[in-house]
Each structure stands twice: as structure tokens, then as C-alpha cells.
Amino acid sequence: MFIFKSDKYIIPIEEIDFWENGIFDKDTKDQKKNKLAMNMINNAIDNVENNRVKKINAIWLETSGCFGEVISLLNSEDPNLIYMLEKFVDMKYFGSIQGDQGEEAYKNIIDNLDTEYIFIVSGAIPTRDNGLYTTVATYKGEKITAMKAVSDISKNARIIITVGTCACFGGPTAAKPNLSKALSVSEFLKRTDIIKIPGCPANPVWVAGILGYIASGGIPELDSNGRPLVYYDTLIHDICPRRKFFDQGIFAKKFGEKECMFKLGCRGPVTYAYCPVSRWNNTFNWPIEDNTTCIGCASPGFPDDYEPFVKYDSSNV
């Protein structure tokens, strides 16, 4: 089947069957994990090195949040951030990794607003008191709020990408009582054409895959919430290694047991994400495999609509 559509390139993606005789096949998962992301990344590198496309210019702005997306990206391994920067992304501004400081750093943004660039945002946008709860810079004596920076940078951006649930849907930053009146980037800009890569934090493998695909000239097909279908079109519940227990009505009574954790509060049945496939940052683990529940962190409404994250329901167990 074809998941991605592009005027320049069409990338065929195989239908992946993770089940064998009704049991989740770990060997199959190990062989095929992140194949989709790496296909996109490798295609981008090949196009850049053969002068078919130029490296994409990018501005990454960190606003109000925990910086988890940045930390997870810095810890990425396959590919790592240095590899991405060398091969297909030219970061014109990225506060956490650049050497420039103060006005000189923000000037890197100003100097690139007339070029072709993609705009990446991590963190929500506080709007209370005209945005003074989050200032991202001081430039020529003016405090630059996240509100102003996002408004200015988004105007000429070829593509806007939000990374992490705070930027995508408001997330923990906009959780009740939301004293800073924080909004997601799409709510703040009142735009529906934003590519959203949610997660708390977002899986860096997914970030790399989407950047690689865009570098190849493509635009990922999105779901109704703006999430790339390649990573968010399947319920965790449907590809969970514990699904066979759910189907048989066998549930864990406490953490550490191998059965389905639905009655302990698992949100896998309502959460769309490829966590069982890519797992965390291309490693061997992810929440359910680590004997904790899915908390629905890649979903709109997280965290308020998904609390409590843990519950003990002993009825009919």
C-alpha cells in the first residue's frame, strides 16, 4: 500500500503483519521496527548526496514545556542528531544546541525569515498577560514572547511541525487549571495545516522519519488530528503484545504480572501510536513491555482526559 503521497516521490510501504498464529511475534517486530522511518531517512540522504534536493533549512523554537522533546532527540541513536544535521537538516536556529547567545542567537531567526524554511515548535504557547509567562529572547531591548516569536516565524514557513503533546494539543502545559492560559500551536495560530508529532515526549525516531521524508520533497498523509498516519494510524491495543490476554479476558491484578493491564488503567485501547513497533528511541523497551500502563500521552486531551493514569479495579478479575 502507499501511505505517503508526494508530487516528487512515491514511497511504497509494505503492510506489516505483526501477528503469527494470533501471537505477537517479537522476531518479526525486531526485524521490521522502524523500517518505515529508516526508509524515509535513507531516501532523504540519497537525494541530498545526489543533488536532487538541498538540505532543508529549519528553525526549531522551544517555548513552554519540559524540553523533553529536545532531550529525547539529543539522546537519539539511529540516526543520531549529528547525523541528521550533517545529511539533510540545516538548523538555522535551535537554542539547545547552538553556540550563539542572546541577541546574536535570535538574529539567526531574523536573518532567515526571508528564506525557505520549515518551522518546528516544541512546547505550548502561554497567552496570559500577552504571553509574558514565556519569553524566548530579548532583541533590541524588546522581550520576545513565545506568542510573538511563533506568530512571526510561522508567517513565511513552508511547513510547520509541532513536536510533543504540549505543542500539538496543549498537553501538560495547558492542563487544568492552566494558569498561563497556554494553547497548542494550532489553536494559537488558528491553522489546520500543521504536521503534529505528539508524545510526551515525542519519539525521536518518528521526528527523524518525518524530517527525512520532508527533505525528500514529500508531505506525509495526516489523520484528522494532524498526525502522520505512518506513525499514528493504529491503536496500541491492536498491536500490543498482551492483546491475546485481553481477547481471552485475562487481566493483570497488579503491576509486574504478564497479563493485559486494561483493568489497571491502560489507555492502549484508545491511543493511536506505533509504540509497540518502534518502542522507545530505537531501543528494546516501551511502557507496556516495562510493565507499566500506556497513559495515552500521544492523544488530544492528554493529560486531563486520561486521568487517573493508574487504577485498581478488582471487580470481575
Higher pLDDT, 242 or 283: 242
* pLDDT score for 76: 86
Domain stops at, among 179, 197, 230:
230
**Residue 241 half-sphere exposure toward CB, CA atoms < 13 A:** 19
Higher pLDDT, 20 or 197: 197
CATH of the domain at 168: 3.40.50.700
Query: What is the rounded CA–CA span in Å between residue 124 and residue 139?
Result: 21
Query: Length of the chain, please?
Result: 317
Percent of residues, the chain, with pLDDT higher than 70: 86
- pLDDT tens-place string over residues 97-121: 887 778 888 999 999 999 999 999 9
Are 55 and 185 contained in the same domain? yes
Range 6-27 average pLDDT: 35
Are 147 and 247 contained in the same domain? no
Domain stops at, among 215, 230, 245:
230
Query: What is the rounded CA–CA span in Å between residue 85 and residue 41?
Result: 12
Please give the model's pTM, rounded to 2 decimal places. 0.86
* pLDDT score for 280: 84
Is residue 309's pLDDT more than 70? yes
**Residue 253 half-sphere exposure toward CB, CA atoms < 13 A:** 4
Would you place residue 36 in the very low, low, confident or very high pLDDT band (cuts 50, 70, 90)?
A: low
* pLDDT score for 315: 55
Is residue 44's pLDDT more than 50? yes
Q: Is residue 214 part of a domain?
A: yes
**How many structural domains does the chain have?**
2
Range 35-54 average pLDDT: 76
Range 115-130 average pLDDT: 97
188: part of which helix (H) or strand (E)? helix 185-189
What is the DSSP pairing of strand 56-62 with strand 118-122? parallel
CATH of the domain at 306: 4.10.480.10
Is residue 19's pLDDT more than 70? no
Would you place residue 13 in the very low, low, confident or very high pLDDT band (cuts 50, 70, 90)?
A: very low
Q: Is residue 63 part of a domain?
A: yes
Q: Is residue 307 part of a domain?
A: yes
Is residue 11's pLDDT more than 50? no
Are 49 and 193 contained in the same domain? yes
Domain that holds residue 239: 234-312
Mean pLDDT of the chain: 85
Would you place residue 240 in the very low, low, confident or very high pLDDT band (cuts 50, 70, 90)?
A: very high
The reply to whether omega before 220 is within 30° of 0 (cis) is: no
Are 85 and 44 contained in the same domain? yes
Is residue 10's pLDDT more than 50? no
Is residue 41's pLDDT more than 80? no
Q: Is residue 154 part of a domain?
A: yes
Cell of 165: 503533546
Range 2-13 average pLDDT: 31
- pLDDT tens-place string over residues 76-93: 887 789 888 988 899 999
* pLDDT score for 277: 85
* pLDDT score for 51: 79
Are 120 and 216 contained in the same domain? yes
Q: Is residue 16 part of a domain?
A: no
Query: What is the rounded CA–CA span in Å between residue 66 and residue 172?
Result: 9
